[in-house]
Structure 1
Amino acid sequence: MRKFSDDFMMGAATAAHQVEGNNIYSDFWTMEHLPGTVYKEPSLDAVDHYYKYKEDIQLLVNAGLNTYRFSIEWARIEPSKGNFDQNEIEHYRQVLRFCHQNNVTPIVTLHHFSSPKWLISEGGWESDSTIEYFGNYSRHVVSELGELIPYICTINEANIGKQIEKIMKRMMAGANEKKSVKKQESVDVQVGLNVDLKANMEQYYRALGEAFGIDPRNVQTFISPRTDNGELIIMKCHEKARTVIKEINPNIKVGITFSLYDHQALPGGEPFVDKEQHEDFLNYLPFLQEDDFLGVQNYSRKIHGPDGVVQPDENTRVTKMGYEYYPEALGNVLRFVAKHWKKPIIVTENGISTDHDPDRVEFIERALNGVYQCIEEGINVIGYTYWSLLDNFEWQLGYAQTFGLIAVDRSTQTRYPKDSLSFLGNIKKAGLHGLKV
């Protein structure tokens, strides 16, 4: 029985704002506490990973895993423009050192959705000035911590703003036609950013403008619907960070991550698939040619017919998030990406929200079968990090979603590893023994 190579990176992922707690200088913290907020609840202490990171990484290690993808929080490092907090640098230095002490490969993300509040007040992700700001932040982090970071994802899901824009347009069209918005449409983005038009958006945006001290029409967070100019700014930020990183430490492997669905066509749906694949991924390729690896993030598929996206029927197996339960999507996406990308690929996110852990075990088994088959076909997949290590703050959806390999009682912050954690670890320790390859 063949197995994953010993140097294959296998582990789990988190994002700072979703797990650390008390990210008080970030735009998300501001939005969570606004009158009329669209967030179901504030992040507050989250799951206290800021203080309990050693316990959490140790649980990963004890399971037999060797990789941890996490983000460094820009709002902690630079809480006000141009002022860098050395205490926060030292915190992340300790996280990185703990990884190395335990033979865990750290994959660091420099930006995972949340931004400093001051950045949004300066124009946010539609402002050319953000390119220089992001470069300055990247330079500071890598100058201080680069020797401890083998892999950097500059930006998480660089295409998310464009995906949200498309969702908003579809929902507006449905509302204008007086059609009901189905569950799959209201939870359409792969990360739990619930774009619910029923909220009183006028009141919310008025409060948003006041909070950031600018015209509410100019509040451009990373997850705001994005213009073509905003798309270009994101990619220029990536290029700027890559240049800075390579100047300081050329040994660091630099990449970026994208949210990618497995787009499938029924007869007549092929033009829709071609369009989605171009907008989700192919359009970005010119900006990635000097990258060392690509981060692929996938949770489900979309089926397209002659009239566009075909919604799952009532008999379709779905996850707690409302996605179709379809672990095979990951292998299909890797094959699509590999047609256009010959350098290494890391699966930086793949997972399922469910309260029934055997469903998670099955999902992991089937998804990793797909990864293994892709490797056998010659596709250069070098790592897999499940989303997520911990049940955490799922953005606008709060704490109800459960993606984690580890449950957390937030009243005591006690950790409860799930069977799926040891299952994933056993795959790493024993290859694919017992899996149906």
Structure 2
Amino acid sequence: MNKFEKGFLLGAATSAHQVEGNNIHSDLWVIEQLPNNQFDEPSLDAVDHYHRYEEDITLLAKAGLNAYRFSIEWARIEPEQGKFDELEIEHYRKVLAYCHEKNITPIVTMHHISSPEWLITTGGWEEESTVEYFKNYCIYVVEHLGDQMEYICTINCANVGAQMCSEALELQSNIPISAERQLLMTETAKAFGLAEENRANIFLSPRTEEGDRLIMRAHEAARDAMKAVCPHLKVGVTLSLLDIQAETDNNVEAIAEWEKDFKHYLPFLQKDDFIGIQNYTRKFIGDKNSMSASEEIELTEQGYEFYPEALSNVIRKVAEEISLSIIVTENGVCTKDDTRRVEFIQRAVAGVQACIADGIPVKGYMYWSLLDNYEWYKGFVKKYGLIGVDRITQNRMPKPSLYVLGDYCNK
């Protein structure tokens, strides 16, 4: 086994809403409680990472890993517009301090999908005021915790709304919307105090072009403001990127897809310190139509092709376009068979090491996820974690894959 060089950030990732539990002031918590919502189950206690973070970080450290990517929940820090909770800031200070105690480098994400309920009431991720609100929240956090931080991701999967183009077309065209869908939209609007005809613009909503730009302007504003307060911070944004493959190099559809997913964001990244890459699989595009996986291709329990090599392909494509340092902020596989997770990790890591050997500045790899957690609309049934969790007792059950990943670390 070839270990990474000393100083390479090797660890795992989580997000607050998926692991902490009881984020009662967030927009997703509101939606999860609606009778006709699209979530298979509510998050509730999740995996109680809010109270068990020491146990989880200890397991990470004992496996030999040296980094932990986690998010600060905006809805905890600012449960009401303009009112900040000092007790919650103190909680995250303790999380950061415990990371340092265990010689774990924290990589902090300021926004990971969930938002404060009040933000959606004021227009959410299509409203101009959100840029200022997000910037002010980020300033508050680094003013109080910046001395404990080094790496910050402003916004997780900043491009996810733009990737939902097919759903956006359904919402904005004359295609009839089902009665169930219309009822959900109406109930959601009411839950946020909006008029029935208005859409609740949560982060997972299909994004307009202006909303897409707004998110990146929020990233820029927060980045610049945080670095003004704490110049030592290394700040970047994370993008969800498929390995887009085509039969020919000049495939128009593939070129357009890469432009939509990545290249049109480049102007907003020029002052960043790194870019966070998140990849799980590839997408193959033929000359005329996208080609679905054949029966011979192994699919994960998420329905993705089992293709760890997608990550290194994406790293190389990104490196061709921009000279920033790269941190793999998410990469993983959904499976209950940990032997498949082990193989996925081994092949993905080999690809990362090959990229580094070729001179690409990859500085870190964060496996998704540290824990089997709440996988958004699919609830708790999807298993990505290096650590299993009995949700009745909340007991932690480390898997062999945790130690396989840890063996690559050279602290």
Q: TM-score, normalised by structure 2?
A: 0.96
Q: Secondary structure at the match of 2:407?
A: helix
1:212 counterpart residue number: 192
In 2, Cα distance between the equivalents of 1:268 and 1:10? Answer: 33
In 2, Cα distance between the equivalents of 1:171 and 1:300? Answer: 27
Q: What is the CA deviation profile of residues 45-93 of structure 1, one whole-angstrom value per residue up to 9, with x for unaligned ones? A: 0000000000000000000000000000000000000000000000000
Contact residue 264 and residue 302 of structure 1 kept, 8 A:
yes
In 2 relative to 1, CA 171–134 (structure 1 residues): closer, same or farther, beyond 3 Å?
Answer: closer
Displacement of 1:219 after TM fit? 1.0
Q: What is the CA deviation profile of residues 280-315 of structure 1, one whole-angstrom value per residue up to 9, with x for unaligned ones? A: 010000011000000000000000012232111222
In 2 relative to 1, CA 35–11 (structure 1 residues): closer, same or farther, beyond 3 Å?
Answer: same
2:143 counterpart residue number: 143
1:179 counterpart residue number: none
In 1, Cα distance between the equivalents of 2:312 and 2:339? Answer: 21
2:84 counterpart residue number: 84
The percentage of counterpart residues that share the same residue type is 53
1:113 counterpart residue number: 113
Contact residue 243 and residue 310 of structure 2 kept, 8 A:
yes
User: Following superposition of structure 1 onto structure 2, how do residues 119-138 of structure 1 map, counting pairs within 5 Å?
Assistant: 119-138=119-138
In 1, Cα distance between the equivalents of 2:34 and 2:195? Answer: 16
Displacement of 1:269 after TM fit? 7.3
Q: Which moves more between the two structures, 67-76 or 201-210?
A: 201-210
In 2 relative to 1, CA 393–269 (structure 1 residues): closer, same or farther, beyond 3 Å?
Answer: farther
Aligned length: 409
Displacement of 1:342 after TM fit? 1.1
Contact residue 269 and residue 305 of structure 1 kept, 8 A:
no
Residue identity matched to 1:220: N
User: Following superposition of structure 1 onto structure 2, how do residues 318-397 of structure 1 map, counting pairs within 5 Å?
Assistant: 318-397=299-378
Task: Report whether the alignment pairs 1:235 with 2:216.
Answer: yes
Task: Report whether the alignment pairs 1:310 with 2:273.
Answer: no
Q: Secondary structure at the match of 2:408?
A: helix
Displacement of 1:198 after TM fit? 7.5
1:63 counterpart residue number: 63
2:181 counterpart residue number: 201
In 2, Cα distance between the equivalents of 1:308 and 1:147? Answer: 51
2:245 counterpart residue number: 264
2:272 counterpart residue number: 291
Q: What is the CA deviation profile of residues 373-421 of structure 1, one whole-angstrom value per residue up to 9, with x for unaligned ones? A: 0000000000000000000000011000000000000000000000000
Contact residue 282 and residue 307 of structure 2 kept, 8 A:
yes
In 2 relative to 1, CA 359–336 (structure 1 residues): closer, same or farther, beyond 3 Å?
Answer: same
In 2, Cα distance between the equivalents of 1:168 and 1:314? Answer: 30
Residue identity matched to 2:359: G
1:155 counterpart residue number: 155
In 2, Cα distance between the equivalents of 1:264 and 1:84? Answer: 46
Q: What is the CA deviation profile of residues 101-120 of structure 1, one whole-angstrom value per residue up to 9, with x for unaligned ones? A: 11100000000000000000
Contact residue 2 and residue 408 of structure 2 kept, 8 A:
no
Q: Secondary structure at the match of 2:70?
A: strand
Q: Secondary structure at the match of 1:339?
A: helix
In 2 relative to 1, CA 170–121 (structure 1 residues): closer, same or farther, beyond 3 Å?
Answer: closer
Task: Report whether the alignment pairs 1:403 with 2:384.
Answer: yes
In 1, Cα distance between the equivalents of 2:208 and 2:300? Answer: 31
Contact residue 11 and residue 67 of structure 2 kept, 8 A:
yes
In 2 relative to 1, CA 153–262 (structure 1 residues): closer, same or farther, beyond 3 Å?
Answer: same
Displacement of 1:165 after TM fit? 2.3
1:189 counterpart residue number: none
Residue identity matched to 2:120: I
Contact residue 294 and residue 346 of structure 1 kept, 8 A:
yes
Q: Out of 260, 265, 281, which is 2:262 matched to?
A: 281
1:39 counterpart residue number: 39
In 1, Cα distance between the equivalents of 2:286 and 2:249? Answer: 6
Gaps of 5+ in 1: 177-196, 431-437
Task: Report whether the alignment pairs 1:164 with 2:144.
Answer: no
Q: TM-score, normalised by structure 1?
A: 0.91
In 2 relative to 1, CA 2–155 (structure 1 residues): closer, same or farther, beyond 3 Å?
Answer: same
Task: Report whether the alignment pairs 1:415 with 2:376.
Answer: no
Residue identity matched to 2:26: S
Displacement of 1:428 after TM fit? 1.3
Q: What is the CA deviation profile of residues 340-374 of structure 1, one whole-angstrom value per residue up to 9, with x for unaligned ones? A: 11121000000001010000000000000000000
In 2, Cα distance between the equivalents of 1:419 and 1:254? Answer: 33
In 2 relative to 1, CA 17–2 (structure 1 residues): closer, same or farther, beyond 3 Å?
Answer: closer
Contact residue 185 and residue 199 of structure 2 kept, 8 A:
no
In 2, Cα distance between the equivalents of 1:230 and 1:273? Answer: 23
Displacement of 1:33 after TM fit? 0.4
In 1, Cα distance between the equivalents of 2:149 and 2:410? Answer: 24
Gaps of 5+ in 2: none
In 2, Cα distance between the equivalents of 1:3 and 1:38? Answer: 43
In 1, Cα distance between the equivalents of 2:312 and 2:179? Answer: 37
Displacement of 1:172 after TM fit? 11
Q: Secondary structure at the match of 1:290?
A: coil
CA RMSD after TM alignment: 1.8
Residue identity matched to 2:369: S
Contact residue 154 and residue 255 of structure 1 kept, 8 A:
yes
In the TM superposition, structure 1's runs of 4+ consecutive aligned residues that sit over 4 Å from their partners are 167-173
Contact residue 38 and residue 199 of structure 1 kept, 8 A:
no
In 2 relative to 1, CA 264–171 (structure 1 residues): closer, same or farther, beyond 3 Å?
Answer: farther
1:433 counterpart residue number: none
